[in-house]
Structure formats: structure tokens, C-alpha cells
């Protein structure tokens, strides 16, 4: 096996035995980026020099006996998480030259663990999109089929892991932005419970929905990254002060006596591709064969999920993005001599069409006379969606569902059809609205050879159970072992 193909666990074992060094591993990763990046376009910034220095520091720590699970492991970061001294653009022209003066909490945790950060990854601008076609800089391609989207908004993160350009990546999930690209690129992606991982240093899109999480080559690696990034942070008021369990230890045990719920609203969903439905059904059978029991559950407010999300998320985005006005930081249109015109022109030139669309929708929903009818009503229905899950989890341990209604679609196929694009998140949005954890694990391939993911949803702070189910399913199948033929 080549060095760039290693998993976190395998690389950690080799580093621990001193059979390889972090410097060798990091150089192999940078060589791999040189070899395939121009095909995939996953990176916005490659920080080769800084990565080499971090690798040398990791080697010194390892030779001194300090070999933590992520020590010396090359990882990459979605470009809306702040790293001190490294450009952070959110894939937007408005932040093209922004260099943060501090590290996000998760970056501090990764650095403490000795991880090597090789660069920042492409995404939909300000995390608004499902295909990474809304980046202000480049178009990321799916490593399995270069004419297909990698998913979004963490498309660069999923594509980089699938193409072996980093051993693991960090993304963010506001409505499926980790799970959906993980499904499309055949990797594992987890959205933790809201409040489980600090959002300090994450550039905000929709503050009540955003959550940071890992994208990895397998479930074991996902648990190792969760062990590192989860935990309370006093700098984030929404971070929950709970102890972090050992997620890696939680993979042990079996699935005997576990009850899995299948939402009847999902199985009859209009627009669900038959290949996706079959792959998910087969995955349910495998999990049943491992000792779990299947029951039907109901999530009656599923039909309102897309409408509720596309009122709440743009409303919060409209508020969060008001700070980009060309005054304190970011792009400024210097041709205007009138303050109001400068604001208008800066935002018109700095934001792409999808971001502008969502700001306009959100501002409208929050405006006087419409607030109660739209935002107020959406928040009431959000409570009903939470109650649906609460009730469903009274009779089951986890819920199994598709991640996306179809495999990855062709680049440009629905970019001009916002409604169809929004509907592609139908299965992932509800977990963000309810604040519950979800994971995508590879569960099959379409006839065209495109990956399909199984989504496992759980109760608040029950990531351990999700990881256990995902791990046992993964061990019983070999979908995660297949690689794109780049």
C-alpha cells in the first residue's frame, strides 16, 4: 500500500513503530496533491512549507514517546474554519485575502494532537450549496467521475479524502454538507450533535444549524477524529459541557437487540432513485443480519422540512452576512464615493448569485410584517420536527435512511434550477433542524459506478451508537475498500 492510501489508524501504527516518519508521510501526501489536484480541484490553499515544519515537529514528539492517534497525520480543512496566518476565504471573493489572526477551537485541538495541516479545501461559497458549483474560485470534481459533482458544501473535503490527497478532513454541516458529499464521494462523514464540537472560529452561515465534523476513509478514523475535536469550549455559548466518551472504544460490542427505525415517509418519497432505494434496503438487511431488529417509524412533518430549512437558514445567513460591508475586512469596492453605494457595490461584486439569493430570501423573511408569517411559523414547525424524532426514538435506537435521493449528478445539470438543488437535501436537513447526530457510510454503487451512502441518525449525543452501527455495517461489507480510478 502506498503511503497516501493509508488510513489514520494504519498510519498511526506505522508511526508508532517508527516504520515511517511523519515527514515521509507528509511529503507523500504533497506529491499526491501535485499528481491529482489539477484533475479534482479540491484545494484552495496548499500549505506545503508549514506542513513540512509541522511534520518535523510531530516526528520530534513521536521520537520523544508522545504518539497521539493523530500525531503526524496529514489532514486538510474546509476553507471556512479559521487557521491563524493561513488564508480563509469561505470560497468567496469577498474574503479572498482574509488572513485570520487566530485559530478556531478545532484547529487548536488538532494542533495539540500533533496533526499536520496540508491545506484548505474548496466548498460552496459560505457553505451555501449542495454541489460545490457555487465556489467563487474553482469547480471541484468527483474523483469517481470527473464530470460529476462531489456534493456540497464540503465537496472539497469529501473529494480530497476520496482521492487520497489527505488522510482525513474537517468539514461543516448546516443541512447535510458533510453527509451528502461523503455519500457522493464514497467516504465516511459525520455531523455530530449540535453543541458537541465547538463552532468558535467557524465562519457562520446559520448559527443554530452549523456543526463541524470529520470526513474520513472509514468509521474507525471517524471515531479517532471525533475523540480529538469533540468537547466543551467556553468560547462557544452553544457548546455543551459534557464529557467526551471514547468513541473508538464504542465500536466494540455487537448489534444484538438493537432496534433500527425505517421512516415510512422516506421510503415513499417522490424523486428517490431506485438504485439508491435498493442500496439502502440491502444495507438494512445486512444490519438486520448482524442482530438488529427493523421497525417502521413515522416522521410526519417530513413534507415541511425543505420549506422550514429554506426560511430559517437564509434568515440566519442574512443576519450573519450583514458584517461583510467592505468596512472592517474583506473586499471593498473603492470606485464608489458614497457610503450606501459602496455597501451595495461591494456586496454585489463580492457575493456570488446563490449567496445573494439567500440573503434576499432571509432579509424578506425577517422584515416587518412578514416575520411572524415566515420565520416565526418556521420556528414553530421546527419544534414539531424535533418532536417527530423524539417520538420515533422512543421505539428505536437509530434511524436508517438514504443520504441523498440520487447518486452524484452531472456538473451543470441542475445548477440553474435552485428548487431541484434544494430538494437534493431532503433527507439530511431534518437532522440539523432537530440538532441530532447523523453519519453517512458507503453502502453501494450505482450501475454507473457512483458511490451511494447510508445515513444513520441517532438521539442527541448518541454518536457512540451511530459509530457502532456504522462500524459493524462497514466490517460486514467492502464498499469502503473500493477506490476511484484516478
Active site residues: 78, 153, 177
Q: How far apart are CA 16 and CA 301, in angstroms?
A: 50
DSSP code per residue over 73-113: -EEEEETTB-BTTB---TT-GGGTT---SS--HHHHHHHHT
Ordered alpha helix ranges (H), 41-135: 48-63, 105-112
Q: How far apart are CA 389 and CA 380, in angstroms?
A: 15
Is 144:408 a contact under the CB 8 Å cutoff?
yes
Give residue 77's Cα distance to chain centre: 11
Q: How many CB atoms lie within 10 A of CB 135?
A: 26
Count of Cβ atoms closer than 10 Å to residue 419 Cβ: 9
Closest to 221 in 3D by CA, of 89, 74, 86, 343: 74
| First-last CA distance in the chain | 16
Rounded-to-5 percentages of helix, strand, coil across the chain:
45, 15, 40
CA-to-CA dists, residue 160 to 25, 29, 120, 225, 478, angstroms:
16, 11, 10, 16, 20
Amino acid at each position: 500500500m502506498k503511503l497516501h492510501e493509508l488510513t489514520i489508524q494504519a498510519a498511526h501504527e506505522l508511526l508508532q513503530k517508527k516504520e515511517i516518519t511523519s515527514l515521509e508521510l507528509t511529503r507523500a501526501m504533497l506529491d499526491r496533491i501535485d499528481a491529482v489536484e489539477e484533475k479534482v480541484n479540491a484545494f484552495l490553499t496548499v500549505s506545503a512549507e508549514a506542513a513540512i515544519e509541522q511534520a518535523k515537529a510531530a516526528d520530534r514528539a513521536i521520537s520523544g514517546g508522545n504518539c497521539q492517534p493523530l500525531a503526524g497525520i496529514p489532514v486538510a480543512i474546509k476553507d471556512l474554519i479559521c487557521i491563524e496566518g493561513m488564508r480563509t476565504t469561505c470560497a468567496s471573493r469577498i474574503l479572498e485575502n482574509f488572513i485570520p489572526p487566530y485559530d478556531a477551537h478545532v484547529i487548536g485541538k488538532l494542533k495539540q494532537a500533533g496533526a499536520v495541516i496540508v491545506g484548505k479545501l474548496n466548498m460552496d461559497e459560505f457553505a451555501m450549496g449542495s454541489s460545490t458549483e457555487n465556489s467563487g474560485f474553482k469547480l471541484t470534481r468527483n474523483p469517481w467521475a470527473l464530470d460529476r459533482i462531489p456534493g456540497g458544501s464540503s465537496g472539497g473535503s469529501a473529494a480530497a479524502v476520496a482521492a487520497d490527497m489527505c488522510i482525513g478532513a474537517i468539514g461543516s454541516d448546516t443541512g447535510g454538507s458533510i453527509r451528502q458529499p461523503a455519500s457522493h464521494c464514497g467516504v465516511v462523514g459525520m455531523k455530530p450533535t449540535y453543541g458537541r464540537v465547538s463552532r468558535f472560529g467557524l465562519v457562520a452561515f446559520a448559527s443554530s444549524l452549523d456543526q463541524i465534523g470529520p470526513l474520513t476513509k472509514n468509521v474507525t478514523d471517524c471515531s479517532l477524529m471525533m475523540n480529538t475535536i469533540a468537547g466543551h469550549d467556553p468560547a462557544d455559548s452553544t457548546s455543551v459541557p459534557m464529557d467526551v466518551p471514547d468513541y473508538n472504544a464504542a465500536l466494540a460490542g455487537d448489534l444484538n437487540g438493537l432496534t433500527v427505525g425505517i421512516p415510512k415517509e422516506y421510503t415513499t418519497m417522490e424523486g428517490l432513485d431506485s438504485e439508491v432505494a435498493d442500496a439502502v434496503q440491502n444495507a438494512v438487511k445486512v444490519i438486520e443480519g448482524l442482530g438488529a431488529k427493523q421497525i417502521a417509524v413515522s416522521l410526519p412533518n417530513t413534507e415541511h422540512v425543505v420549506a422550514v430549512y429554506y426560511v430559517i437558514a437564509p434568515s440566519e445567513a442574512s443576519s450573519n452576512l450583514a458584517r461583510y460591508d467592505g468596512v472592517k475586512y474583506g473586499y471593498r469596492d473603492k470606485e464608489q464615493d458614497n457610503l450606501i453605494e459602496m455597501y451595495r457595490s461591494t456586496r454585489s461584486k463580492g457575493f456570488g448569485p446563490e449567496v445573494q439569493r439567500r440573503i434576499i430570501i432571509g432579509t424578506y423573511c425577517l422584515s416587518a410584517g412578514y416575520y411572524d408569517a415566515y420565520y416565526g411559523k418556521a420556528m414553530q414547525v421546527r419544534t414539531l420536527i424535533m418532536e417527530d424524532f423524539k417520538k420515533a426514538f422512543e421505539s428505536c435506537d437509530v434511524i436508517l435512511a438514504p443520504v441523498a435521493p440520487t447518486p452524484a449528478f452531472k456538473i451543470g445539470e441542475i445548477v440553474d434550477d435552485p428548487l431541484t438543488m434544494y430538494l437534493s437535501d431532503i433527507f439530511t436537513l431534518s437532522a440539523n433542524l432537530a440538532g441530532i447526530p447523523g453519519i453517512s457510510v458507503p453502502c453501494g454503487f450505482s450501475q454507473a459506478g457512483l458511490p451511494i451512502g447510508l445515513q444513520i441518525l441517532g438521539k442527541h449525543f448518541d454518536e457512540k451508537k451511530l459509530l457502532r452501527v456504522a462500524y459493524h455495517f462497514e466490517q460486514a461489507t467492502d464498499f469502503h475498500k473500493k477506490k476511484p480510478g484516478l
